[in-house]
Amino acid sequence: MINQSNKVLNTNITKLVNKTYQYGFSTNIEKDIIKKGLNEQTVTLISKKKQEPEFLLEFRLKAYKRWKQMSEPEWAYLKFPQINYQEIVYYSAPKSKKKLQDLNEVDPELLQTFEKLGISLTEQKRLANVAVDVVFDSVSVGTTFQDELSKYGIIFSSISEAVHHSPELIKKYLGSVVPIGDNYFSALNSAVFTDGSFCYIPEDTICPLDISTYFRINDENSGQFERTLLIAEKNSQVNYLEGCTAPQYDTNQLHAAVVELVALENATIKYSTVQNWYSGNEYGKGGIYNFVTKRGLCAGANSKISWTQVETGSAITWKYPSCVLMGDNSQGEFYSVALTNNYQQADTGTKMMHIGKNSRSRIISKGISAGKSKNSYRGFVNVLNKAHGARNYSQCDSLLIGNLSNANTFPFISVHNSTTKIEHEASTSKIGEEQIFYFLQRGIELEKAVELMISGFCREIFTELPLEFAAEADNLLTLKLEGSVG
């Protein structure tokens, strides 16, 4: 009965406007591109092209050496063909003849690209209350509101610039949260990262604007390896947003980013991501391989780091935004919605490392699997022996759409302190044909029905997102699911 009716329902659904990935276009622009392949010369060349100081070149070379000794992790519930790291281009930058003095000098083609993506770099039309750094393939093409932020002592720039204007901070913090040899992809990133954002919030400062980075992959053959470093000094607060899109190619592009957050005493960092890399077509061809290491260090007492992610894109997602709760009374949070459709695979979750006394963590994960996709939550709550009074609450909910999708939960909990309280809840539900029929019988169209059920399922997460992101996320999920219910 189910199979037959699915067929009928599916044909009903395909009648709906099946919008394609709206960010799938590519920009034709003159590029400075290096030969594909990775060896010591590539690493040196990247460093040279960026006119980096000696210490950074050493950092890169050390990372490269580590990487060569390591092998790709195989424990994730993901299946993909071997990545040939020698076939990837590690540096691709839009060509510009001279150093840009202000944003008006950015290539108009590029400006147009970002206008199309809804990100405006032009001063008149820029987003109110959000400062943006935009990264195109390997380099940052512009950062808004820099001057305004600097009045507060806030540094917000591309990491390449930061290497020059704040070398001490880079030296001190780069690799301090995610060490070079942490994992295969972080080692790779440390060797070849080309750009990313850098943000420094000084003591006693509440950042007056939301800080945001927008990542765009454009080139078909180059990988994107960006590096983000965010430091919040004592008693400071910042909201950070991250967005990503990529063109539609039949080939797969590798994206291996590293994000490091440091929160000192009483500091609060809220980091939100809406990930919408190209996910491949309905037959599983193309799409981004997304291997990302994100980690926050709650270094000081009473510090707090909160990760919110809405993961909808990429062919493969391997990502575990984590918190190291070192400070006493520090707090870590992870709010996630991961949606997979067609042949997408996601293995995502978080790690909460409790070291400080009374450290608290909260994990709310919502996985939605549709089509023939695989969606796994993988979590690790680790309470060390000195974390007296540590608490963790985890909730993992899965929602299945259709009969061919797959949802998994792998929660690991390790406790070395008897005064700890740990709670774990999990649920699995399904949007079934009978529910849809109930809506339809009441005159509510399919699209609306799915939207309503999905946003109900994700409500707890969306309330954590900044306003403009929440609306976007809601639309994005609905869009991604079109044609998948049955």
Under rule CB under 8 A, residue 443 binds other proteins: yes
Q: Report the length, in residues, of the chain.
A: 486
For the chain, helix (H) and strand (E) counts, in that order, are 11, 23
User: Which residue's CB is nearer to other proteins, number 17 or number 128?
Assistant: 17
3-state secondary structure of 124: coil
Applying CB under 8 A, does 298 fall inside the site for other proteins? no
Interface with other proteins by CB under 8 A: which range of 160-168, 199-207, 384-392, 439-447? 439-447
Kindly state the tokens that stand for 444. Answer: 């509510």
Whose Cβ is closer to other proteins: residue 143's or residue 336's?
336
Stretch that binds other proteins, among 213-221, 224-232, 290-298, 446-454 (CB under 8 A): 446-454
User: In which element (H, E) is residue 438 found?
Assistant: helix 433-441
Alpha-carbon distance 229 to 224, whole Å? 16
Q: What is the largest CA-CA distance in the chain?
A: 69
What are φ and ψ of residue 43, in 5° steps?
-60, -45
The single-letter DSSP state of residue 382 is E
Site string for other proteins, 115-154 (x = CB under 8 A): ----------------------------------------
- DSSP secondary structure, 191-259, as one string: HH--B-EEEEE-TT-B-SSEEEEEEE---SSB-B-BEEEEEE-TT-EEEEEEEEE----SSEEEE--EE
CB distance 214 to 132 below 8 Å: yes
Is 453 a residue that touches other proteins (CB under 8 A)?
Answer: yes
- Considering the complex, what minimum distance in angstroms separates the CB of residue 401 from other proteins? 13
Distance CA 130, CA 240 (A): 9
Binding mask 3-22 for other proteins (x = CB under 8 A): -xx--xx--x----------
463: contact with other proteins by CB under 8 A = no
What is the size of the binding site for other proteins (CB under 8 A)?
27
Select from 45, 70, 440, 479 the one that contacts other proteins (CB under 8 A). Answer: 440
Interface with other proteins includes 434 (CB under 8 A)? yes
Closest to other proteins by CB, 86 vs 428, is: 428
Residue 442 within binding range of other proteins, rule CB under 8 A: yes
Under rule CB under 8 A, residue 100 binds other proteins: no
Please report, as ranges, the residues that interact with other proteins according to CB under 8 A. 1, 4-5, 8-9, 12, 429, 433-435, 437-446, 448, 452-453, 455-457, 459
